[in-house]
Structure 1
Amino acid sequence: MKHTDVPIVVTQPFKVSRNRLWEAITQVTQLTQWFFENIEAFEPQVGFKTQFRVQVEDRIFTHLWEIIEVVPQHKITYNWRYQEYPGDSFVTFEIIEHEVNLILRLTTKVVADFPDTVSEFTRESCIGGWQYFIQERLPAYLKQ
C-alpha cells in the first residue's frame, strides 16, 4: 500500500441501533469477538494507545494503534502502524444514517508507504481483509 493510492473504502449496512454498532466497534470485549481476539485494551478516547501482536506464518505484526479522533456514536479514527515494518496509515470507522439502516463506512488512508515485499501490505490484501472484517465478521457477530 502506497501513500499515493486512493483510500480504501468498505461499507456495510446494519439494522441495529446506533449504540449497538458503536459499542461493537469501540468496546474491547466486543472487538475481540469479531476483530482481533488478542486486543488487550481499547478505549475510544483521543490519545489512547494500544498494541498487540498478530503472527502470520513466520512473520510478526505488532499493531500500534493510537486514537486520534472520536465523535461519540458517529466516528472513530486510529493511527495504524506496525512495529516491525515501515508505513503509516489512518483508519476511520464512521456510522452514517441511511433510510432505515445504518451504514458503517471504513476508510483506510495510507500516509507513508508500506513495504512491497510483504504480501499482507498489498492493496488487494488490505481490501480483502477489510471486507472480511466489516462485511462478514461484524455482521455475523451482531446477528448473535
Structure 2
Amino acid sequence: MNDCFEIELVYNACVIQVWQTLTNAELMKIWYFPQIKHFDLKVGNAFRFADDGSTYKKNWRITRLENDRLMAHSWGYQDYPGYSEVTFELFGQGNMTVLRLTHTGLSSFPQDLHFAYQRFELGWNMILDHNLRQCLEDQT
C-alpha cells in the first residue's frame, strides 16, 4: 500500500475565504463530514463526532496550525491500529488559492478494504474537488 496521498487543487477564492471554510465547524459539516459535532481550532484539541452507528469511529486531533496557511490533524480510528496525519496547506495566487492536501501514514492501517489506498484517493477527490469546491461556490 502507498503510504502517502497528495493532491493539489486550485479554487476560485482568496486564501482567507478558503481558510475560513476549512476551519469553520458549521461549514466543515457541509464539505468535510456532517457528523462533526464540535471543532475548536487549537493544537491538541480533539474533533468530536456524532455517533452515526459506524464501526469506524474517527479519532482525530489538531496537530499543527499556521493561521491562514496550514492546518494538520491526526486521522485514526478508535479500536483500530494505525495513525496517519492530514495536512491542508494554502498558497495564494491573487484571487485564487492552491490547496495542497497531504495524507501520510496510510500504510499503518490494517489490510482491510475500509483502509485501502484507493478508498482514500476516491474520498479525498470527492471531499476536495466536489464538496469543498461546491461549498466555496455557494458562498459567492
- TM-score normalised to structure 2 length: 0.89
Secondary structure of the corresponding residue to residue 24 of structure 1:
helix
1:67 maps to which residue?
62
Determine the structure 2 residue equivalent to 1:126.
Answer: 120
Higher strand share: 1
Deviation at 1:120, TM superposition (A): 2.0
8 Å contact kept, 1:12–1:103: yes
Superposed, 1:70-89 pairs within 5 Å as 70-89=65-84
Please say if residues 91 and 109 of structure 1, whose CA atoms lie closer than 8 Å, have aligned partners that are also in contact. Answer: yes
CA 1:78 to 1:7, structure 2 compared with 1: closer, same or farther past 3 Å?
same
Deviation of the 1:68 alpha carbon: 1.0
Identity of aligned residues (%): 25
For residues 17-62 of structure 1, give each alpha carbon's deviation from its aligned partner in whole angstroms, at most 9, with x where no partner exists.
211100111110110011101101112211111232455xxx5111
80 and 135 in structure 1: CA distance in 2 versus 1, 3 angstrom threshold: same
| Structure 2 CA distance for aligned equivalents of residues 28 and 106 of structure 1 | 19
Contact 1:10 1:134 in 2 (8 A): no
CA contact (8 A) 1:42 1:50 kept: yes
Unmatched 5+ stretches in structure 2: none
SS of the residue 2:86 aligns to: strand
Change (3 A) 1:32 1:143: same
1:34 corresponds to 2:31: yes
Paired residues in the alignment total 137
DSSP 3-state at the match of 1:60:
coil
Three-state SS of the structure 2 residue aligned to 1:49 is: coil
Displacement of 1:99 after TM fit? 6.0
Q: Secondary structure at the match of 1:104?
A: strand
Please report the RMSD computed on the Cα atoms of aligned residues, expressed in angstroms. 1.8
The C-alpha deviation readout for 1:84-111, integer Å capped at 9, x for no partner, is 3111001001101246521111100007
